[in-house]
Amino acid sequence: MFSLQNIIYLVIAVILSMSIHETAHGLVSYWMGDPTAKLEGRLSLNPFKHVDWLGLVCLLICGFGWAKPVPIDARYYKDAKTGIIWTSFAGPVANFLLSFICVFLFYALYKFAPQFMMTSVGYFVSNTLTYTGLISTGFGIFNLIPVPPLDGSKILFSFLPDDQYYKFIDGALWMNFLFIFLIFTGLLDYPLGMLRSNMIQFFEMIAKMILGF
Protein backbone atom coordinates (compact mmCIF):
# COMPACT_ATOMS: atom_id res chain seq x y z
CA MET A 1 0.00 0.00 0.00
CA PHE A 2 1.39 3.37 -1.04
CA SER A 3 1.64 6.22 1.42
CA LEU A 4 1.62 9.82 0.26
CA GLN A 5 5.38 9.93 0.78
CA ASN A 6 5.93 6.84 -1.38
CA ILE A 7 3.77 8.36 -4.12
CA ILE A 8 5.96 11.49 -4.04
CA TYR A 9 9.09 9.34 -4.44
CA LEU A 10 7.46 7.46 -7.30
CA VAL A 11 6.33 10.61 -9.13
CA ILE A 12 9.82 12.14 -8.87
CA ALA A 13 11.41 8.91 -10.11
CA VAL A 14 9.02 8.55 -13.04
CA ILE A 15 9.37 12.18 -14.16
CA LEU A 16 13.18 12.03 -13.98
CA SER A 17 13.28 8.71 -15.86
CA MET A 18 10.96 9.89 -18.62
CA SER A 19 12.64 13.28 -19.00
CA ILE A 20 16.18 11.95 -19.34
CA HIS A 21 14.98 9.21 -21.69
CA GLU A 22 13.34 11.61 -24.14
CA THR A 23 16.10 14.23 -23.86
CA ALA A 24 18.66 11.57 -24.81
CA HIS A 25 16.67 10.63 -27.90
CA GLY A 26 16.53 14.23 -29.04
CA LEU A 27 20.16 14.98 -28.19
CA VAL A 28 21.59 12.03 -30.14
CA SER A 29 19.33 12.81 -33.07
CA TYR A 30 20.60 16.40 -32.98
CA TRP A 31 24.21 15.20 -32.88
CA MET A 32 23.47 13.17 -36.00
CA GLY A 33 22.26 16.22 -37.89
CA ASP A 34 18.53 16.36 -37.11
CA PRO A 35 17.46 19.77 -35.70
CA THR A 36 13.78 18.79 -35.20
CA ALA A 37 13.91 18.18 -31.45
CA LYS A 38 15.91 21.38 -30.85
CA LEU A 39 13.51 23.47 -32.92
CA GLU A 40 10.60 22.14 -30.86
CA GLY A 41 12.37 22.84 -27.57
CA ARG A 42 12.79 19.19 -26.61
CA LEU A 43 16.53 19.28 -25.86
CA SER A 44 15.71 20.04 -22.26
CA LEU A 45 15.48 18.20 -18.94
CA ASN A 46 12.42 20.29 -18.10
CA PRO A 47 9.84 17.56 -17.33
CA PHE A 48 6.96 19.67 -18.64
CA LYS A 49 8.52 19.35 -22.10
CA HIS A 50 8.37 15.56 -22.02
CA VAL A 51 5.79 14.18 -19.60
CA ASP A 52 2.51 12.92 -21.02
CA TRP A 53 0.20 13.25 -18.02
CA LEU A 54 -2.05 10.36 -19.07
CA GLY A 55 1.03 8.21 -19.56
CA LEU A 56 2.31 9.26 -16.14
CA VAL A 57 -0.99 8.33 -14.46
CA CYS A 58 -1.04 4.96 -16.25
CA LEU A 59 2.50 4.23 -15.09
CA LEU A 60 1.65 5.09 -11.49
CA ILE A 61 -1.56 3.03 -11.51
CA CYS A 62 -0.89 0.19 -13.96
CA GLY A 63 2.90 -0.08 -13.79
CA PHE A 64 3.54 1.00 -17.38
CA GLY A 65 3.19 4.29 -19.19
CA TRP A 66 4.72 6.62 -21.72
CA ALA A 67 6.14 10.09 -22.29
CA LYS A 68 5.67 12.48 -25.20
CA PRO A 69 7.80 11.01 -28.02
CA VAL A 70 10.59 13.32 -29.12
CA PRO A 71 10.09 14.14 -32.81
CA ILE A 72 12.90 13.03 -35.10
CA ASP A 73 13.34 13.24 -38.85
CA ALA A 74 15.51 10.42 -40.20
CA ARG A 75 15.90 12.25 -43.52
CA TYR A 76 18.62 14.34 -41.90
CA TYR A 77 20.75 11.28 -41.12
CA LYS A 78 23.48 10.16 -43.51
CA ASP A 79 22.11 6.64 -43.11
CA ALA A 80 18.50 6.52 -41.89
CA LYS A 81 18.56 3.04 -40.36
CA THR A 82 21.87 3.59 -38.55
CA GLY A 83 20.62 6.92 -37.25
CA ILE A 84 17.42 5.35 -35.95
CA ILE A 85 19.40 2.59 -34.18
CA TRP A 86 21.60 5.07 -32.30
CA THR A 87 18.74 7.43 -31.55
CA SER A 88 16.59 4.58 -30.24
CA PHE A 89 19.40 3.19 -28.08
CA ALA A 90 19.99 6.60 -26.52
CA GLY A 91 16.88 6.60 -24.33
CA PRO A 92 17.42 3.25 -22.57
CA VAL A 93 21.17 3.91 -22.21
CA ALA A 94 20.40 7.25 -20.55
CA ASN A 95 18.04 5.44 -18.17
CA PHE A 96 20.71 2.92 -17.23
CA LEU A 97 23.24 5.71 -16.70
CA LEU A 98 20.79 7.57 -14.44
CA SER A 99 20.20 4.35 -12.49
CA PHE A 100 23.91 3.79 -11.97
CA ILE A 101 24.38 7.39 -10.79
CA CYS A 102 21.56 6.90 -8.26
CA VAL A 103 23.07 3.65 -6.99
CA PHE A 104 26.54 5.21 -6.79
CA LEU A 105 25.28 8.28 -4.90
CA PHE A 106 23.33 6.07 -2.48
CA TYR A 107 26.40 4.05 -1.53
CA ALA A 108 28.61 7.15 -1.49
CA LEU A 109 26.27 8.73 1.06
CA TYR A 110 26.16 5.47 3.00
CA LYS A 111 29.96 5.41 3.20
CA PHE A 112 30.87 9.07 3.60
CA ALA A 113 27.79 10.61 5.23
CA PRO A 114 26.00 7.92 7.27
CA GLN A 115 24.81 10.46 9.82
CA PHE A 116 23.20 12.53 7.07
CA MET A 117 21.22 9.49 5.91
CA MET A 118 19.70 9.23 9.38
CA THR A 119 18.21 12.73 9.13
CA SER A 120 14.80 13.44 7.61
CA VAL A 121 16.42 15.10 4.59
CA GLY A 122 18.86 12.20 4.17
CA TYR A 123 15.99 9.74 4.42
CA PHE A 124 14.14 11.60 1.66
CA VAL A 125 17.24 11.78 -0.55
CA SER A 126 18.14 8.10 -0.11
CA ASN A 127 14.60 6.96 -0.87
CA THR A 128 14.40 9.22 -3.91
CA LEU A 129 17.67 7.72 -5.19
CA THR A 130 16.37 4.19 -4.56
CA TYR A 131 13.06 4.75 -6.32
CA THR A 132 14.70 6.55 -9.24
CA GLY A 133 17.28 3.81 -9.69
CA LEU A 134 14.61 1.12 -9.78
CA ILE A 135 12.16 3.00 -11.99
CA SER A 136 14.80 4.22 -14.45
CA THR A 137 16.24 0.72 -14.84
CA GLY A 138 12.79 -0.72 -15.37
CA PHE A 139 11.91 2.03 -17.86
CA GLY A 140 15.08 1.37 -19.87
CA ILE A 141 14.50 -2.39 -19.98
CA PHE A 142 10.82 -1.94 -20.82
CA ASN A 143 11.65 0.28 -23.78
CA LEU A 144 14.07 -2.30 -25.19
CA ILE A 145 11.23 -4.80 -25.73
CA PRO A 146 11.14 -5.30 -29.53
CA VAL A 147 7.45 -4.47 -29.99
CA PRO A 148 6.19 -1.23 -31.59
CA PRO A 149 6.18 1.55 -30.64
CA LEU A 150 8.98 0.83 -28.15
CA ASP A 151 12.65 1.59 -28.89
CA GLY A 152 13.54 -2.09 -29.09
CA SER A 153 11.38 -2.55 -32.18
CA LYS A 154 13.07 0.36 -33.96
CA ILE A 155 16.47 -1.12 -33.18
CA LEU A 156 15.55 -4.67 -34.23
CA PHE A 157 13.62 -3.76 -37.36
CA SER A 158 16.44 -1.52 -38.59
CA PHE A 159 18.60 -4.62 -39.09
CA LEU A 160 16.06 -6.15 -41.46
CA PRO A 161 16.10 -5.78 -45.26
CA ASP A 162 13.88 -2.97 -46.50
CA ASP A 163 11.05 -5.23 -47.69
CA GLN A 164 10.81 -7.00 -44.32
CA TYR A 165 11.35 -3.75 -42.45
CA TYR A 166 8.29 -2.11 -43.98
CA LYS A 167 6.31 -5.33 -43.59
CA PHE A 168 6.87 -5.27 -39.84
CA ILE A 169 6.12 -1.57 -39.66
CA ASP A 170 2.84 -2.10 -41.52
CA GLY A 171 1.97 -4.92 -39.13
CA ALA A 172 2.62 -2.82 -36.05
CA LEU A 173 -1.07 -2.55 -35.10
CA TRP A 174 -1.58 -6.24 -34.36
CA MET A 175 1.76 -6.30 -32.55
CA ASN A 176 0.53 -3.46 -30.36
CA PHE A 177 -2.53 -5.51 -29.42
CA LEU A 178 -0.26 -8.47 -28.61
CA PHE A 179 1.89 -6.24 -26.45
CA ILE A 180 -1.13 -4.87 -24.55
CA PHE A 181 -2.29 -8.45 -23.98
CA LEU A 182 1.09 -9.41 -22.53
CA ILE A 183 1.08 -6.37 -20.24
CA PHE A 184 -2.41 -6.88 -18.84
CA THR A 185 -1.97 -10.63 -18.34
CA GLY A 186 1.22 -10.02 -16.39
CA LEU A 187 3.24 -12.47 -18.47
CA LEU A 188 6.08 -9.97 -18.71
CA ASP A 189 6.18 -9.11 -15.01
CA TYR A 190 8.55 -11.87 -13.91
CA PRO A 191 11.17 -11.64 -16.71
CA LEU A 192 11.20 -7.83 -16.58
CA GLY A 193 11.46 -7.86 -12.80
CA MET A 194 14.29 -10.39 -12.90
CA LEU A 195 16.21 -8.35 -15.48
CA ARG A 196 15.77 -5.21 -13.40
CA SER A 197 17.00 -6.92 -10.24
CA ASN A 198 20.04 -8.34 -12.01
CA MET A 199 20.94 -4.98 -13.50
CA ILE A 200 20.58 -3.18 -10.16
CA GLN A 201 22.81 -5.80 -8.55
CA PHE A 202 25.39 -5.24 -11.30
CA PHE A 203 25.29 -1.47 -10.71
CA GLU A 204 25.69 -2.06 -6.96
CA MET A 205 28.71 -4.28 -7.55
CA ILE A 206 30.41 -1.66 -9.75
CA ALA A 207 29.59 1.18 -7.34
CA LYS A 208 30.96 -0.73 -4.37
CA MET A 209 34.16 -1.56 -6.27
CA ILE A 210 34.70 2.10 -7.13
CA LEU A 211 33.96 3.25 -3.58
CA GLY A 212 36.13 0.55 -2.01
CA PHE A 213 33.49 -1.38 -0.06
Query: Which run of H or E residues covers position 176?
Result: helix 172-185
Amino acid identity of residue 91, one-letter, is G
φ and ψ of 59, to 5 deg:
-65, -40
Q: How confident is the model at residue 63 (pLDDT cuts 50, 70, 90)?
A: low
Residue 81: which pLDDT band, with cuts at 50, 70 and 90?
confident
Torsion from C-alpha of 155, 157, 161, 164, nearest 10 degrees: 180
Residue 168 has pLDDT above 70, yes or no: no
Strand-pair partners of 67: 51
Q: Looking at per-residue confidence, does 168 or 151 come out higher?
A: 151
- pLDDT tens digits, one per residue of 104-145: 999 999 999 999 999 999 999 999 999 999 999 999 998 998
